[in-house]
A and B are shown apart, each in its own frame.
Chain A
Amino acid sequence: MTEHMTVMEQRAAHRPAPPPAWKLRTDPGPLLPEAEPRRVLGTPAAAKADPQLLRALYEQLVRGRRYNAQATALTKQGRLAVYPSSTGQEACEVAAALVLEEQDWLFPSYRDTLAAVARGLDPVQALSLLRGDWHTGYDPREHRIAPLSTPLATQLPHAVGLAHAARLRGDDTVALALVGDGGTSEGDFHEALNFAAVWQAPVVFLVQNNGFAISVPLHKQTAAPSLAHKAVGYGMPGRLVDGNDAVAVHQVLDEAVRHAREGGGPTLVEAVTYRLEAHTNADDATRYRDDEEVAAWRAHDPIVLLEKELTDRDLLDESGIQAARDAADAFAAGLRERMNQDAELDPMDLFRHIYAEQTQQLREQAAQLRAELEAEDER
């Protein structure tokens, strides 16, 4: 009988029974992640991958790598306050963006501007937080991209609530939330996954396990067999994927998003990847990891892996590679030019959006600032 019931109905039907009658509420078997991170590139499965998807992923990866380099350069030139690079993690960022439908929502953390840009957001708007001209430089509802979240994992319950609300309204919207390995230690990670599973919310959690939370390696972060295994405790499937294999990440996320859209509930995906750059420009990665380790990961570069597949299958030649690089350079040049112009700032914006209607107290403080600005202008 239970096989005809939804997961929620099965759980609702469960009643606690004294020990002789006790049994598991659901079978944990199907929830367990793969024994090893799933890979597609370099395996026979790669032959089945859609050439159009491979090319789209490749172009975005190349552009994403160039975007990361440009944003880092802009930081060194003082045009950005700080930049947490996703160099090395482009496969996760790009696949997360490409797997979503128009109506779906992306919930990025501060390291995920590339995912937002890959989804089509203007990079100048995406970088507003890191440039420092405002906190969120875009209308989240227009792009269905939540504000970049700085407090770790706090955006995950938002994704759950939004997905839940969409389902209550009968919409087929899915929310995809991004978080890092360090973020999985936060209480909000736990609460978000628990709510998502209890509500069977159409949400997918993508953990980019890049090995470090600033300087702290994963073994000081968790004793779990894998981060994907944490899913089982919440009653949702956990999936483990090679985070540098763009095709595998896209495939796993696509399955999870479809599952969520069809009413199957949430999935936790752990993508095993590596942060090739330091945490931010202000960090010194040589203090906590050695060059050998970094070199090993450079050999497993997401762009190299995909390029090899494309060239091996004659889907890409030298001119194609050059064309992708040229397009990326043009994209970076456009970004550089726009970021080298001074940001438009209006100090009175500080008071405009605190409440729907300005309070008397804020009106008085705004008047004070206005008077100070006028006095400055007169000098």
Chain B
Amino acid sequence: MTTTAPAPAAAAGTKPASMAQALQRALRDALTEDPTVHVMGEDVGALGGVFRITDGLAADFGEERCTDTPLAEAGILGTAVGMAMYGLRPVVEMQFDAFAYPAFEQLISHVSRMRNRTRGAMPLPITIRVPYGGGIGGVEHHSDSSEAYYLATPGLHVVTPATVADAYGLLRQSIASDDPVVFLEPKRLYWSKDVWNPEAPSSVEELGRAAVRRAGRSATLITYGPSLPVCLEAAEAARAEGWDLEVVDLRSLVPFDDATVCASVRRTGRAVIVHEAAGFGGPGGEIAARVTERCFHHLEAPVLRVTGFDIPYPPPMLERHHLPGVDRILDAVARLQWEAES
């Protein structure tokens, strides 16, 4: 993670590792342990993917296990459906968030509902890796936060790591899942480093559990993926204002961990949701509604959202004005009706 994150005490065998390394290790271990796992996508072979997440996999496991496909996202996901129907466990790479859209019909009309359609007879254990989010200076169509589209589709899991350890653990668990998982990789965290033990990487217990990344008493920042480091930085900065912020990392948007989120909000009485995706129709609206429905009598202030604007993703020279930053988060925290307390 970023330097602002509280670094865990270094244990034996631990060293700084990047999220990209952890993801690659997760794919490598899954390929090693389960012969039905197949990695496929554009440029995942000799090149190792445009982000190098699949680096070396084709060389080590062969082109049949790590396959360069034709450049066609619907075809990639559609053939993965057929492979899963025959008992394989495909891990599909979509090159960029906005390049995944051609695959939406396969995703929505088939991947998400095959289990239901067949009364459980034909589950589709497909993991769809999608690099997402901005902050990397990408030109148009390279920085979308497309999670709202996915989480509005019943039958999919929607998972996103924010730490190096989670990148490994959540990806392993996603590949092991018998359900389709949209695995959103925050691409601006690919090169962020954290202390991690690559000798003994561990999976997560189950999908659908949020994690409290920073304990606090004043208010809860609810976030995920690329916005976690920003929220942790904001929480540190908030100490100067006398606010002790709790930070919840959702890790999974579907299933949604109401229990962890609500327990935190009931403790603090205030909540701000932070994400890069546009606010209107974005995950924050759903989360705010859930928190309000479940924690209304514990709330000292309306649940607020700090999100991307309701605009197409900006050109790179303007993206800093769009992305939720520390100041915008602190401004929101300041509006949580503190005066009513005194």
Q: Could you tell me which A residues sit within 8 Å of B by CB distance?
A: 134-136, 139-142, 146-147, 151, 154, 156-166, 168-169, 173, 175, 187-188, 191-192, 194-195, 198, 349, 352-356, 359-361
Alpha-carbon gap, A198 to B114, bound state (A): 26
Q: Across the two chains, which residue of chain A brings its CB closest to B255?
A: A359
Q: Across the two chains, which residue of chain A brings its CB closest to B157?
A: A355
Does B105 make an interface contact (CB < 8 A)? yes
The answer to whether A198 touches B70 (Cβ under 8 A) is yes
Alpha-carbon gap, A161 to B126, bound state (A): 13
Q: Which A residues are in CB contact (< 8 Å) with B87? A: 165, 169
Q: Which of B78, B81, B121, B179 contacts A355 (CB 8 A)?
A: B179
Closest 8 CB pairs of A and B: A161-B82, A157-B78, A191-B75, A161-B79, A162-B82, A165-B86, A359-B255, A158-B82
The answer to whether B70 touches A195 (Cβ under 8 A) is yes
The answer to whether A195 touches B115 (Cβ under 8 A) is no
Contact string against A for B residues 255-292, beta-carbon threshold 8 Å, 1 for contact and 0 otherwise:
11011000000000000000000000000000000000
Q: Across the two chains, which residue of chain A brings its CB closest to B121?
A: A139
Alpha-carbon gap, A329 to B332, bound state (A): 74
CB pairs A–B below 8 angstroms (6 shown): A147-B114, A157-B81, A158-B82, A162-B85, A166-B86, A188-B75
Contact string against A for B residues 75-116, beta-carbon threshold 8 Å, 1 for contact and 0 otherwise:
101111111111110000000000000100110011001111
Name the distance in Å between A109's Cβ and chain B's nearest Cβ. Answer: 13
The answer to whether A135 touches B78 (Cβ under 8 A) is no
The answer to whether A195 touches B85 (Cβ under 8 A) is no
Q: Across the two chains, which residue of chain B brings its CB closest to A107?
A: B82
The answer to whether A191 touches B83 (Cβ under 8 A) is no
Alpha-carbon gap, A361 to B155, bound state (A): 12
Name the distance in Å between B269's Cβ and chain A's nearest Cβ. Answer: 23
Q: Which of B83, B157, B178, B259 contacts A165 (CB 8 A)?
A: B83
Q: Which A residues are in CB contact (< 8 Å) with B115? A: 353-356
Q: Across the two chains, which residue of chain A brings its CB closest to B79?
A: A161
Contact string against A for B residues 114-144, beta-carbon threshold 8 Å, 1 for contact and 0 otherwise:
1111111111000000000000000000000
Q: Which A residues are in CB contact (< 8 Å) with B114? A: 147
The answer to whether A360 touches B85 (Cβ under 8 A) is no
Q: Across the two chains, which residue of chain A brings its CB closest to B113?
A: A135
Does B64 make an interface contact (CB < 8 A)? yes
Does B72 make an interface contact (CB < 8 A)? yes
The answer to whether B208 touches A187 (Cβ under 8 A) is no
Alpha-carbon gap, A191 to B117, bound state (A): 24
Alpha-carbon gap, A165 to B85, bound state (A): 9
Does B13 make an interface contact (CB < 8 A)? no
Q: Which B residues are in CB contact (< 8 Å) with A173? A: 86
Does B32 make an interface contact (CB < 8 A)? no
Given A165-B85, A359-B256, 11 more contacts at CB 8 Å?
A135-B117, A136-B117, A136-B121, A157-B79, A158-B79, A164-B82, A192-B75, A198-B70, A354-B155, A355-B115, A361-B258
Does B69 make an interface contact (CB < 8 A)? yes
Q: Across the two chains, which residue of chain B brings its CB closest to A142?
A: B121
The answer to whether A140 touches B121 (Cβ under 8 A) is yes
Q: Which B residues are in CB contact (< 8 Å) with A354? A: 115-116, 154-155
What is the count of residue pairs linking A and B with beta-carbon distances less than 8 angstroms?
A: 141
The answer to whether A165 touches B82 (Cβ under 8 A) is yes
The answer to whether A141 touches B121 (Cβ under 8 A) is yes
Q: Across the two chains, which residue of chain A brings its CB closest to B125?
A: A356
Contact string against A for B residues 152-190, beta-carbon threshold 8 Å, 1 for contact and 0 otherwise:
001101000000000000000000011100000000000
- CB interface residues, B 29-82, toward A, < 8 Å: 38, 64, 69-70, 72, 74-75, 77-82
Name the distance in Å between B253's Cβ and chain A's nearest Cβ. Answer: 12
Q: Which A residues are in CB contact (< 8 Å) with B106? A: 154, 157, 188
Name the distance in Å between B261's Cβ and chain A's nearest Cβ. Answer: 12
Q: Which B residues are in CB contact (< 8 Å) with A158? A: 78-79, 81-82, 85, 110
The answer to whether A146 touches B119 (Cβ under 8 A) is no
Name the distance in Å between A345's Cβ and chain B's nearest Cβ. Answer: 13
Q: Which B residues are in CB contact (< 8 Å) with A160? A: 75, 78-79, 82
Alpha-carbon gap, A51 to B287, bound state (A): 68
The answer to whether B64 touches A168 (Cβ under 8 A) is yes
Alpha-carbon gap, A352 to B117, bound state (A): 11
Alpha-carbon gap, A134 to B117, bound state (A): 7
Q: Which of A169, A188, A349 contacts B74 (CB 8 A)?
A: A188
Q: Across the two chains, which residue of chain A brings its CB closest to B67?
A: A199
Name the distance in Å between B257's Cβ and chain A's nearest Cβ. Answer: 8
With A146-B85, A187-B74, A188-B105 in contact, is A195–B119 under 8 Å at CB? no
Q: Which A residues are in CB contact (< 8 Å) with B258? A: 360-361
With A157-B75, A165-B82 in contact, is A135–B116 under 8 Å at CB? yes
Q: Which B residues are in CB contact (< 8 Å) with A187? A: 74, 102
The answer to whether A163 touches B255 (Cβ under 8 A) is no
Alpha-carbon gap, A139 to B155, bound state (A): 19
- Name, among A139, A140, A157, A187, the residue most crowded by chain B CB atoms within 10 Å (CB to CB): A157
The answer to whether B255 touches A164 (Cβ under 8 A) is no
Q: Which A residues are in CB contact (< 8 Å) with B254? A: 359
The answer to whether A139 touches B118 (Cβ under 8 A) is yes
Q: Which of B38, B102, B119 contacts A134 (CB 8 A)?
A: B119
Q: Which B residues are in CB contact (< 8 Å) with A355? A: 115, 155, 157, 179, 255
Q: Across the two chains, which residue of chain A brings its CB closest to B123?
A: A356
Q: Which A residues are in CB contact (< 8 Å) with B121? A: 136, 139-142
- Name, among B72, B80, B179, the residue most crowded by chain A CB atoms within 10 Å (CB to CB): B72
Q: Which of B72, B81, B119 contacts A161 (CB 8 A)?
A: B81
Alpha-carbon gap, A334 to B102, bound state (A): 44
Q: Which A residues are in CB contact (< 8 Å) with B179? A: 355-356
Q: Which B residues are in CB contact (< 8 Å) with A191? A: 70, 72, 74-75, 78
Alpha-carbon gap, A333 to B264, bound state (A): 63
The answer to whether A147 touches B117 (Cβ under 8 A) is yes
Name the distance in Å between B152's Cβ and chain A's nearest Cβ. Answer: 14
Q: Which B residues are in CB contact (< 8 Å) with A146? A: 85
